[in-house]
A = this chain, B = another copy of it.
Amino acid sequence: RLRAVTERNKKTIAVIGGDGIGPEVVAEGLKVLSATVGADSLDFVHYDLGAERWLRTGEVLPDSVVDELRQADAILLGAVGAAPGSKTIPSGLLERGLLLRLRFLLDHYVNLRPSKLYPGVPTPLGENITSRGPIDFVVVREGTEGLYCGVGGATRAGTPHEIATEVSVNTAFGVERVVRDAYERAMKRRKKLTLVHKHNVLVNAGGLWNRLFLAVGEEYPEVETDYLHIDATTIAFVADPQRFDVIVTDNLFGDIITDLAGAVTGGIGLAASGNINPEGTAPSMFEPVHGSAPDIAGQGIADPTATISSVALMLDHLGMTAEARRIEAAVDADIAERGASKRSTTQVGDAIAARLS
C-alpha cells in the first residue's frame, strides 16, 4: 500500500478484462470511472489474463502477477471462463486458477451482491409480486470457504468404480467475520438480517453458521433476524422478495441465490458485485455477477451496467462515497430512461458517462 500513499490521491486500478464479453463491459466501466473521478487521479494497469493467454502461453495467473496485483488499490474484473462445453479450455481452469484464486489469495471474504428492482425495468415476476413494494436487498456471500476451497478429489477416476468428492470447509474464524460484516451492513440499512443455509441436512456446517449467527447477533440487538433454508429461499425470492434486507450465506448458496436475485431484479446484466477484503490487507476486486457469455462476445451488445455499478461499489470501498453515489444516480437515471430501447455496449457506457462528466 506504500505506493498509493506516496503518490497521494492517485489510485492504481488493476484491470482484468478476461474472457468473452469481459473486456467489452470493463471498457465502459473504466470510461465511467474516469468521467467520475477524473482520468489524472487514476492509473489503470491492464493485465492480459484469461483464455487467450492460457492458450498462447499455458499461464493462468503467474505468481508475479499476483504480486503486482497486491500493489493495486483495487481490481476491476470483467469475466473469466470459457463456454460450459468448451473443448479447448478445461472446465474450471480459469475459474479456479484465476477468479477463485484471487478471491482466496486476496482474502475477499465478503462477496457483496446488491439487488434492486428499478422502476420500469422488465422482470420475469408478475405484477402480483412486484406491486407489493420495492425489492431492494443485498446478499453477503462468504468468499473464501465452503465448497469453493478446492478440497476433494477423485479415486479410480475414469473407471466404473470412480468416487468423486467435494468438501465444504467452514471455520469459526471464517464464518464469524462474514456474519459480523453482514450485521454491520444491516445496521446501515433496514436492520433486518436473514441467514440462509440448510442446517437440517448439513448439520455440521449449518450448526456452525447458526451458532455464530446467534452469537454475533447478541452484539446487534437492534437487528431483526431470521433464517431460511436454501430451498425455501429460492421460493421467497420469487414469491416474496420484499421480505429481504440483508442476507448472509455461504459461498455456494450465495452463488446460486445471487444469480436468481439478478434474474428477478431485471436480469444479470444489472447485477454488480464486490469481492471485498474489509480490512484492506489486500486490494478488493469488483466484477459483474454475470459470466463471460461467449455466445454474445465480440458483438458489442453486452450490457455494461453491472460493471458500471460494480465501479460504484469500488468507489464506496475506496472511501469515495460521494462519487459512488453520483454513479448510482447516473445509472438510476439511465435505467429510468432506457425503456425497451436496444443500445450497444458503448452507447450505454457513453450515456452514463455523459451524465457524470
Contact = CB atoms under 8 A, between A and B. Distances in A.
Interface string A260-271: 101110011000
A290 to B, nearest CB: 10
Nearest to A80: B200
Nearest to A214: B85
A239 B127 CA distance: 15
A252 B200 CA distance: 12
The bracket for how many chain A residues form the interface is 35 or more
Interface of A: 81, 84-85, 91-92, 95-96, 100, 122-129, 147-148, 152-154, 156-173, 176, 198-208, 210-211, 227-232, 234-235, 237-239, 252, 255-260, 262-264, 267-268
A91 B210 contact: yes
Contacts of A161: 171-173
Contact of A126 (B85, B127, B154, B162): B127
A200 B164 contact: no
Number of copies: 2
A251 to B, nearest CB: 9
Most buried by B among A84, A169, A257: A84
A186 to B, nearest CB: 18
B91 A199 contact: yes
A268 B235 contact: yes
A215 B242 CA distance: 44
B91 A207 contact: yes
Nearest to A199: B91
Contacts of A228: 84
Given A124-B239, A154-B207, A231 B202 contact: no
Contact of A263 (B162, B164, B172, B234): B234
B159 A165 contact: no
B235 A202 contact: no
5 contacts: A124-B238, A124-B239, A161-B171, A165-B205, A167-B167
B168 A152 contact: yes
A301 to B, nearest CB: 17
Given A91-B200, A92-B203, A235-B260, A170 B160 contact: no
B172 A159 contact: yes
B235 A259 contact: yes
A229 B84 contact: yes
Most buried by B among A148, A154, A231: A231
Contacts of A208: 154, 162, 164
A49 B195 CA distance: 29
B158 A211 contact: yes
A207 B84 CA distance: 12
A238 B235 contact: no
A236 to B, nearest CB: 8
A96 B203 contact: yes
